[in-house]
Structures are given as structure tokens and as C-alpha cells.
Structure 1
């Protein structure tokens, strides 16, 4: 079966935040026309439109594009990735609250976008400053109101463990976010990625990472706050109101294949994973010259595909049903990692009732350390 999900990467940003190590390019809005020509050309290599159930614009900041180029990109994506027959397509666009206008929100809704994912990160001015974000809490509230009026679903991202952040400050942030009544909230601990300015500052000891025990309290405390407010904690970092899960991300976590285009975009089609060059200028140069933008290519063996499906599935709080997994992956969980799973159960990081294997709360706290053991 052909992939039923697609991702488009839009690399433009007003500036690069200190913690960011994504495939972005800041202060180069002048490249928008070349980007549109390149993405159009790359998509044309699909040969024909590919119907999908979920479509996702990530970045970067897709809404950094001006109204005209944004309309062109939306129209282009809608042509190449139309809604699959009989399915209401989920179409998500990531956005920076500081770049959105009422006109752009209206355009998104008019052209078929169903969901806005806002990089809010915090509703505290001082914390936004420490994270080097360029929007204000007031802009967040305005954009959420505009999205709601346009009938768009609203998802927001929050970061915890920012420099100097206390437990109560974080809980206040979560409570303020809940006041906005979003449909979906993702919480991420601040990470120090090699190549980011925050990494360099930490290495120079000019920036201190929040204590691990405090980070754990922040993570678990947010889960409890959101659960009490009616959100389902359905994946390690993701919470949704009933019926409002991210269908696109669930396609990833279920091990399904997906198309992708744009600088740094990763696709998974026919058991082959390809990643485009992360440099926007290199991507543009290659594609506009008629050359492949692919920088990395890997053909996954059946076992490697099954192991990835296992890890992605365990990220979901509902875990893995043994019988369903074997049917979908062609391997049983015990064939892939029986001894490792038993050891993790023994350490109370996983629980296994014979039918379902899933993370425990203790396992949630160290899940990133678990995955390499299973791959």
C-alpha cells in the first residue's frame, strides 16, 4: 500500500533560537521564490498526485512565508497530496505566533488546513527571552483566538527545564496554556543539541542545565496537571483532548510509510529511508539543477523495520499488543528482544501482562535510554 501521509519542510525563520539545531535558514526570506521553484520541481518527480490522510508542514516556520508565496505552497501541496477518498484529511501547519496575522490564519483555513501547531514554548515573557523566542504571550492569545474563529484545531508546544526555571514557574506555564483551551499540548524538556548556541554556552559554563531530578518532577507534574484537565496522555511527550490526537504523528509511531520533500526532509517509502540535504542553499542548488537532493539513503531489512516499529509503538502509552505486532511486523516481540524486554520489565521500566507491553511511569522518565537497547 502506498504511503498515506506526507511532510513538507519549510526552512525559513526570522532568527535561529539558541536551542535549535533543525534544518532552518534565518534571515533569508529572499530565497522564498527559489524554494517554491525547487519544492515544485521535487514534488513533480512523484509523477502523479498521491492521495493522503495526513499532510504536515514543518520547519523552520512555514508561516514565515508572505501571503502570496504561502498561498502558492498550499496550493501546490494540495495538488500533489490531495485528500484520500472517503477520508477527512488532517492538514497541520506549524507556526510561530509572532509571524501569524489574521489574514494568514484565514488563508490557511480557506485552503484546507485543519490544524495549527504553534511553537508557543512559554507564556512567560522572561522565559521566552531566555529561550530566545521572538513572540509575546499576547501574540499567542491573539493567534489562538483567530485560529479558533477560523475553525482550526489548535496544538501548542511547551518547553520545560529552561535555564533558571523553577518547578512552580513551569506549572504556572502549563496552567496558563490550559487557559487557552487548546486541543493538543506537547511538552518537551529543553535539550542541548551539538551545533546549537546553547550547547556552546553550556560547554563554556555560561549556561547551566536544570538538575535531572527537577526535570523529572516537571515532566511528571505536567502529565498529572494535563490529565486532571481532561487531556489524554497518549505518547511520551504528547497530550490531547479526546478525539484530538495528531493523526500524522500517530502514522509515524505506527511504523507507516510517508512521503516528504524540502531541505532536510526525511521520507520512508518502500522500506527505504531517504533524507534530503539539510543545507537550504545546497538543496536549492541541487534540485534546480535537476539533481537529487538526497544526502542519506538506507534500505531497512525486515528485522530493522520491525525493531523501529517496536520502538515507535512503545512510545505510545497504550503500548504494543503482542498479537497485532506480530501480524503487522512479521516478528514477535520476543523474537526481536525477548531478553531485553524481560530485563526492562524486571527493572519496572516496562510492564507486560502477556498481551500488551507498555512503558511504566518509571520507564517514561528514562525512555530515551531504553530505545537504543531495542534497536
Structure 2
């Protein structure tokens, strides 16, 4: 069965934020038309009848496109990847891009989920994160989108340089007051290759203390669940019926299409990644060549280990019997010593044959995964 999910990467931004290490190109709006032409060539490589249940436009900033370009992007992708009835069509958006014209355009083309990368309402924190919007821009964009879109998600970053626990709690409470359908919370990371990495190495920025970052994460758990949000994945919270169905494709180990520079796909048991350079991705497609730079078929055991780690990110955890039936491996066979250790230290628990993270495990989840992947 072909994948029922697809991701399209739009790499353009007005400005590359200092913490960003994604495939992004800033200040090259002159490449819009060439990008669309190359994407059309990549879409033609897909099998016919590629109907999907979820379609996600990420970036970069898809809403950075001029209205005419954005409309053409939505049109040409949906012509090749039609959305099934009841499907989820998500677009990542920057608050200042959500003008009345673009908001109406998105709704007209069937976009029913907006993921707004607003990160904070705090002016000082927004400046530190090098964001180009203010709190007022968020409120105005939210009001417009709320009138036209079924589901709105807000992205929030915590543990920014100089941020206090009180600052973070204020961000959480302001987000809750808007009553979005979904909220994602991410601790700021310093990725090698991003500007913030170099600034931290030079002593210009300081990472938040681990204890403070843990308190901030726990504040998110407490504030959001108390407000009626279901904590369904390590970093994600949703009102009933508003989980991100597209991202659950990844966490459940299902296959998916992906297009655009740097995009990674999983189709017919093969994992492939496109070239991260926007220009190289374009040139390869223009020359009739494949944009793929890495390709591998994971052995069954490696697929099972990956399935285990992604599945444990979901708060529901993993049904041990279903996992063994699906992968051919028991969880014990993949990491008996690590599993026993994590259960003993109450980082994992088994409830009704579901293996899942405890609250203590949530706080250190990233440090657990290597033990299951080795």
C-alpha cells in the first residue's frame, strides 16, 4: 500500500533565525519560480493515484511566498497528491505573513490546520530568538485564522537565554488564553552549524541550566493539562480531536512521501533524503537527475529499534504484543538490560501491557533513546 502522508518542504525565509539548522535559504525570493518548476519535476516522479490522508507544508516558511506563488504551490501539489475526504492539510506559518489575503487563500485551497511558529509573546525573548514579529502580530494573525481554519497549533520555545520560569509561565498562560486547538513546546537547542552554536562557543550566549529547563518542561505539563489539553507526545498537546495526524505518521512508523530540498521520505521500505542545498536540488531535477543524496533500506532489527523509540515518544506508549507481531522482535530482545534498568528507576512503566514513559522519564527521554538504538 502506498504512503498515505506527504510532506512538502518550502525552504524560503525572510531571515534565518540564529537557532535554526533546517534547510533554509533567506533573501533569495528571486528563486520562487525556479523552485516551483523543480518541485513540479519532483512531483512527476511520484506514482499515479497518490491520494493522501495528511499533507503537510513545512519549511522554512511556506507563507513567506507571494500570494500568487503560494496559490500555485497549493494547486500543483494537490493536483498530484489529492487529499482524501476528511484529510488533514497543514501549513506552517509566520504570524506576520498571515495577511487577510493569504489567510483567505489558504482556506480557499482547503488548508484546515495552521501551525503558527510564534515561539513567544515576550518582546525581549522574541528579540533574543531573532523573530521578526511582535505579540500584537500574533493576536491579529490568530484572530484572522480562527475565523477560517478548523485547527490552529501554536509553537512555543522555552529555555531561551535569560528566560526565567515566570517568563515561561506567562507565555504558557497567554497561549492558553487564546484557546488554540494544539500547542507544541520545544526546549531551545544549540545545533552545530546554527549561529547560536557559534555564539555560545564564544561566550555570547549561555544555555539555560538543566534544572531550570526541567522546571519549565514540567510547568508546560501542569499548565496545559490543567487547561484541558491532552499531552499525547513528548512535546505536543492537543484538545480532543486535534492531534497532528501527520506527525503521528512518523511516530507510528508508517511510510510517507516527502518532496523539496532536504526532505526525507520513507517509501517501500527505503529511507531517502534529498540534497540539502536548494540550488543543488534544483539543478539535479532540471538535469533530469534524482535529487536523492542518501538512500538505505533498514534491516528488520534496525526498523524495529526505530519503531520502538518513535513509539515511546507517544504518551500512550507501545503495546508489547502488537509490537512483537508487527516487527518480529520483542522489546526485551532489543534492549533487555536497558529496559530492566529504566523500569527499575521508574523512567518507564508497564500498564496493561503498554510500555510507556513515566513523568520522570519524560524529563530525560532524549537520553534514553540511544540505549535502544545501539
Q: Give the TM-score, by structure 2 length.
A: 0.98
Does the Cα contact within 8 Å between 1:49 and 1:79 map onto a contact in 2? no
Does the Cα contact within 8 Å between 1:271 and 1:305 map onto a contact in 2? no
Deviations 1:10-60 (A, max 9, x none): 000000000001000001011000000000000101142401110000000
Give the corresponding residue for 1:143: 141
Give the corresponding residue for 2:107: 109
Does the Cα contact within 8 Å between 2:114 and 2:149 map onto a contact in 1? no
Hey, what's the Cα distance between the residues in 2 that align with 1:341 and 1:225? 30
Hey, what's the Cα distance between the residues in 2 that align with 1:329 and 1:183? 34
What are the equivalent positions in structure 2 for 1:33-52 lying under 5 Å apart?
33-52=33-52
Hey, what's the Cα distance between the residues in 2 that align with 1:232 and 1:353? 18
SS where residue 115 of structure 2 aligns?
strand
Hey, what's the Cα distance between the residues in 2 that align with 1:330 and 1:91? 34
In terms of mean alpha carbon deviation, does 47-56 or 158-167 score higher? 47-56
Hey, what's the Cα distance between the residues in 1 that align with 2:334 and 2:205? 41
Does the Cα contact within 8 Å between 1:19 and 1:191 map onto a contact in 2? yes
Give the corresponding residue for 1:312: 310
Hey, what's the Cα distance between the residues in 1 that align with 2:199 and 2:137? 29
What are the equivalent positions in structure 2 for 1:268-283 lying under 5 Å apart?
268-283=266-281
Hey, what's the Cα distance between the residues in 2 that align with 1:197 and 1:353? 43
Hey, what's the Cα distance between the residues in 2 that align with 1:305 and 1:152? 35
Give the corresponding residue for 2:55: 55
In terms of mean alpha carbon deviation, does 142-151 or 114-123 score higher? 142-151
Give the corresponding residue for 2:189: 191
Hey, what's the Cα distance between the residues in 2 that align with 1:326 and 1:112? 39
SS where residue 35 of structure 2 aligns?
helix
Hey, what's the Cα distance between the residues in 2 that align with 1:247 and 1:24? 25
TM-superposed deviation, 1:151:
2.9
Hey, what's the Cα distance between the residues in 2 that align with 1:263 and 1:274? 12
Length, aligned pairs only = 373
Q: Give the TM-score, by structure 1 length.
A: 0.98
Runs of 4+ in structure 1 deviating by more than 4 angstroms, as ranges, are: none
TM-superposed deviation, 1:327:
2.1
2:2 is the alignment partner of 1:2? yes
Does the Cα contact within 8 Å between 1:254 and 1:309 map onto a contact in 2? yes
TM-superposed deviation, 1:335:
2.1
Hey, what's the Cα distance between the residues in 2 that align with 1:324 and 1:29? 48
TM-superposed deviation, 1:354:
6.2
Deviations 1:251-287 (A, max 9, x none): 1100000000000000000111101011111111111
